[in-house]
């Protein structure tokens, strides 16, 4: 079982790198952010408790996220491995995942995408999303062909509630408070932690460095 944890602050490029790793390794990209937003849509949108938590920049309760991830990992396409994007975000979640994997004779490989704080702010405040198909754009690095309109379906792009600047700053503060300790946990547990500076290079170059590091650390093979 190839168990990859993509680690980094909001705006570090985890989603982009997860897509590239999925294409390379043939295992699914599992984004807890996407799953939570889908849950919001199925629970009467902004009226749900999950929506209120996410829009404030706070983290959804561990037990809710752990259960959601377990249900997803139990699906057939994840039997040979998976790439986790946005999970674990707390020490309790990391311990829960480690126990789940150890019970199956597997362990994690952690890829940490490090990005400067000010670059993250610029990236996220420039992000736009199509409300119909979900495609993400960035006004600085991946602008739509026609201003404010989705390239695929012509829908007017929107700013996600969790991408407003006050919420972004709270998300980054939450990351520092709750998620940074997870890296210390993985290092102390002797899990492979691949550090990649993702501040300036193109997504393609960042991926090349990830792939080279995985090959150097022999992380492309099953870890049992």
Q: Is 89 a catalytic residue?
A: yes
End-to-end CA distance of the chain: 8
- Listed in sequence order, the DSSP H helices in 57-90 are 62-73
Catalytic residue of the set 20, 123, 127, 191: 127
Catalytic residue of the set 39, 61, 142, 160: 160
Q: Is 37 a catalytic residue?
A: no
Catalytic residue of the set 72, 89, 128, 191: 89
> Torsion angle, CA of 119/125/130/135, rounded to 10 degrees?
10
What is the rounded distance in angstroms from the CA atom of residue 77 to the CA atom of residue 160? 29
Catalytic residue of the set 2, 20, 37, 171: 171
What is the rounded distance in angstroms from the CA atom of residue 223 to the CA atom of residue 1? 7
Contact 217, 192 (CB under 8 A): yes
Q: Is 171 a catalytic residue?
A: yes
Q: Is 187 a catalytic residue?
A: no
Q: Is 169 a catalytic residue?
A: no
Dihedral sign, Cα of residue 136, residue 127, residue 209, residue 202: positive
Secondary structure (3-state) at 110: strand
Catalytic residue of the set 2, 14, 20, 37: 14
Contact 27, 2 (CB under 8 A): yes
Q: Catalytic positions, please?
A: 14, 89, 127, 160, 171
């Amino acid at each position: 079982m190839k168990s990859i944890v993509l680690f980094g602050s909001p705006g570090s490029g985890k989603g982009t790198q997860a897509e590239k790793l999925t294409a390379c390794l043939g295992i699914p990209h599992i984004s807890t952010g996407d799953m939570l937003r889908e849950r919001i849509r199925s629970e009467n949108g902004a009226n749900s408790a999950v929506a209120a938590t996410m829009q404030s920049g706070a983290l959804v309760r561990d037990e809710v996220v752990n259960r959601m991830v377990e249900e997803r990992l139990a699906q057939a396409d994840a039997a040979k491995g998976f790439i986790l994007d946005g999970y674990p975000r707390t020490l309790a979640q990391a311990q829960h995942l480690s126990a789940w994997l150890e019970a199956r004779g597997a362990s994690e490989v952690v890829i940490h995408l490090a990005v400067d704080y000010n670059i993250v702010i610029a990236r996220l405040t420039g992000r736009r999303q199509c409300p119909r198909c979900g495609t993400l754009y960035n006004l600085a690095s991946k602008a739509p062909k026609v201003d404010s309109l989705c390239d695929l379906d012509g829908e007017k792009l929107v700013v996600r509630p969790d991408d407003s600047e006050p919420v972004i700053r709270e998300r980054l503060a939450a990351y520092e408070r709750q998620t940074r300790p997870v890296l210390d946990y993985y290092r102390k547990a002797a899990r492979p932690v691949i550090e990649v500076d993702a501040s300036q290079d193109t997504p393609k170059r960042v991926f090349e460095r990830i792939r080279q590091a995985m090959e150097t650390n022999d992380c492309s093979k099953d870890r049992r």
